[in-house]
Structure 1
Amino acid sequence: MGTDMTILITGANGYVAEHTLRQLRALAQQDAGANLHVRGLVRNPARADKVRALGAEPIIGDVTNLASLVQAMAGVEKVIHLAAVNRDRGEVTMERVNAQGTINVVEAAKQAGVKHIINLVGLGADPKRPYPLAYTQGRGVEAIISSGIPYTILEASVIFGPGDEFLNTLAGLARLPPFMIVPGDGQTKFQPIAVQDVAVCLVQSLSRPEVINRRLQICGSEVITLEGIIDAILAEMGVKRIKLHMPVFLLKPAVALMDALLPKPPVTPSLLAQLGVDNVATDNATTKVFGIEPIKLRAGISFVREMSFGKLMARTFGRAEYR
């Protein structure tokens, strides 16, 4: 990279942020000319040590609090905006975090003179879509694009890796014999991308001029159905299950109840709704723009062997994370 740069990462305690911080630390160690000062925005002071251990300066703040963002961005040149939620819980809602939180990031960036905002969202983020996650992230994307600040929007399909939610949840459910529930017909298409590859794309975006003011899709090289993902997990775990295809409308009441009662339910109403919608790239930039040969799903899911139903329940009731 060969330059001095101060970077702020929002959502610094998150899953993708952890891998992004590792990638930035590796870059600083490999490139003697890269003088990177990385700040990580964290809501909970008790989790600041995790960010510090990854080589970043923890900054206490919240994307829903504009004043804290203004302070966090003082002297910052580039922002990697990763803060997002996929369900509503009390005051922490998709509207407040994904939409208004991103609007706050844009306003603070304007005040601080930030030169580049990099934002990671789900593939198909669009305020015209009827799904809360896609809608709220789409509103945030619109705010960034219309801000006048140079931007890069990266849209990812399902992200997998040690500690992920999606595959680990499926793996935890697969530990219960003899059945494995498959929502709908299981033929919804995905293009999973490894979290390590996502982190590389985010870090490369800091220094690639060709990604400025572009909205890029980053996905794996394989299109796989939901049932295909489940089959890959079962094969990796070495277990056999009777697959039960369950109509989504029959799952909705149970999912809504779990969402209302559990701290971190294994499936949310927003996720269930989107499980019926194909999530694949129309123009995949992972290799074309970033030069990455994506890790294939079946080559990168050995971590599911460590998943247990007990771990799934511990996370569901808020006692632990998958990692």
Structure 2
Amino acid sequence: MLVLVTGATGFLGRRVVPALLERHHQVRCLVRTPGRERVFPPRTVDIQYGDIQNTDALAAALVGVDAVVHLVGTIRRRNKNTYDQVNRQGVANVVAAAKVARIKHLVFVSVIGATSNRSYPYLFSKWQGEREVANSGLSYTIIQSSVIFGAGDEFLNSIAAMVKALPVVTVVGSGRNRLQPIEVEDVARCIAIAVDREELRGKTIELGGPQQISYNEILAIVARTLGKRRLMLHPPVWLMFVVTWALQALPRPPVTLDQLRLLPIRNVAEPDSVEDNFGFTPKPVEGNIEYIRLLTKRDAMSILTGQMPTKIRDH
């Protein structure tokens, strides 16, 4: 089966591509920036240059394709239209081109918490993307993931930056909000399985790791991994909104206002979802984040001042 992967050179995409190859699929990668395809060994994948906003490039990329894995999405807004352009219209463009190409299956990666509530612009845009897929008439699987961790992630590397560089770590609110982090290779494996497993078609499936853990617990795991002990400061949420608003002047702020608004939103999966749907147990956070040890103090300061190191930003 020939599978087109959008967002193929990103944090998740560069794991999805080898996972598909391991399942003996041929892979075509839609690459926006020439040269980024060098993350893959030569002659292992077919490369098509283009962007999901370019309908001609999408049509060319879909010639002869059997299935599509759509990974492109953004949680960071460059302007008020970014979410709509990428997370809704981008999906609509892929769906329209896929219908013309008569593909056999579409796997769309979304997030847990996608909602029709416009008070949460990011989650609303992801919900809109899901509606584009579900109402398309195509065979589809929607994957809703909890927060993803792995080498090159922004999530745990940003926490590690605070632990490395600061004597006291700031935690928004109580820190008791629960997450279910899932390792990036495990997410990629689920996506690859979803491409050709018939019984997953027409489903929306939540992905989470084996543990539902609080932000405080995640921070403690990061500190233990780094061999550090840190005090936690819990300022009220309103104060963090003020601080975060000021940070938006940075080129790439360590946290955005939209991310703060997501704190009270449920971000845990249905129990045993990965085991029940994909037949394996995902890896826990503790014992699988040694990569954060590679973060230098200089990297940490760069993250905290809004200059995400290239090795993380471009991973």
Identify the TM-score tier after normalising by the shorter chain.
Answer: over 0.9
Partners of 2:43 and 2:177 lie apart in 1 by 37
The Cα offsets for residues 236-268 of structure 1, whole Å up to 9 and x where unpaired, read as 111011110122221223323333431x32212
Choose from 18, 21, 30 the match for 1:22. Answer: 18
Q: CA deviation at 1:128?
A: 2.5
Could you say which residue in structure 2 is the equivalent of 1:140?
Answer: 129
Matched, 1:189 2:185: no
Q: CA deviation at 1:170?
A: 0.4
Q: CA deviation at 1:90?
A: 4.9
Q: CA deviation at 1:24?
A: 2.2
Q: TM-score, normalised by structure 1?
A: 0.91
Could you tell me which amino acid in structure 2 is paired with residue 311 of structure 1? Answer: D
Partners of 1:45 and 1:314 lie apart in 2 by 26
The Cα offsets for residues 95-122 of structure 1, whole Å up to 9 and x where unpaired, read as 1111110011100101111111101111
Partners of 1:242 and 1:270 lie apart in 2 by 26
Could you say which residue in structure 2 is the equivalent of 1:287?
Answer: 275
Matched, 1:156 2:152: no
Contact 2:113 2:265 in 1 (8 A): no
Partners of 1:100 and 1:52 lie apart in 2 by 32
Which secondary structure does the structure 1 equivalent of 2:108 belong to? strand
Could you say which residue in structure 2 is the equivalent of 1:320?
Answer: 310
Number of aligned positions between the proteins = 311
The Cα offsets for residues 255-308 of structure 1, whole Å up to 9 and x where unpaired, read as 23333431x322122212112323112354200110111101112111122223
Could you tell me which amino acid in structure 1 is paired with residue 311 of structure 2? Answer: E
Q: 1:284 to 1:154 in 2, by over 3 A?
A: farther
Matched, 1:211 2:230: no
Partners of 2:272 and 2:104 lie apart in 1 by 26
Q: CA deviation at 1:318?
A: 5.3
Could you say which residue in structure 2 is the equivalent of 1:119?
Answer: 108
Unpaired stretches in structure 2, ≥5 consecutive residues: none
Could you say which residue in structure 2 is the equivalent of 1:308?
Answer: 296
Contact 2:8 2:16 in 1 (8 A): no
Could you say which residue in structure 2 is the equivalent of 1:248?
Answer: 237
The Cα offsets for residues 4-60 of structure 1, whole Å up to 9 and x where unpaired, read as x11111111210101111222333xxxxxx3x3211112111313224659322211
Q: CA deviation at 1:75?
A: 1.2
Q: TM-score, normalised by structure 2?
A: 0.93
Could you tell me which amino acid in structure 2 is paired with residue 206 of structure 1? Answer: V
Single out whichever of 124-133 and 197-206 deviates more from structure 2.
124-133
> Identity of aligned pairs, percent?
33
Q: 1:277 to 1:54 in 2, by over 3 A?
A: farther
The Cα offsets for residues 145-182 of structure 1, whole Å up to 9 and x where unpaired, read as 00000000011111111111111110011112310011
Contact 2:299 2:309 in 1 (8 A): no
Unpaired stretches in structure 1, ≥5 consecutive residues: 28-33
Choose from 65, 68, 86 the match for 1:97. Answer: 86
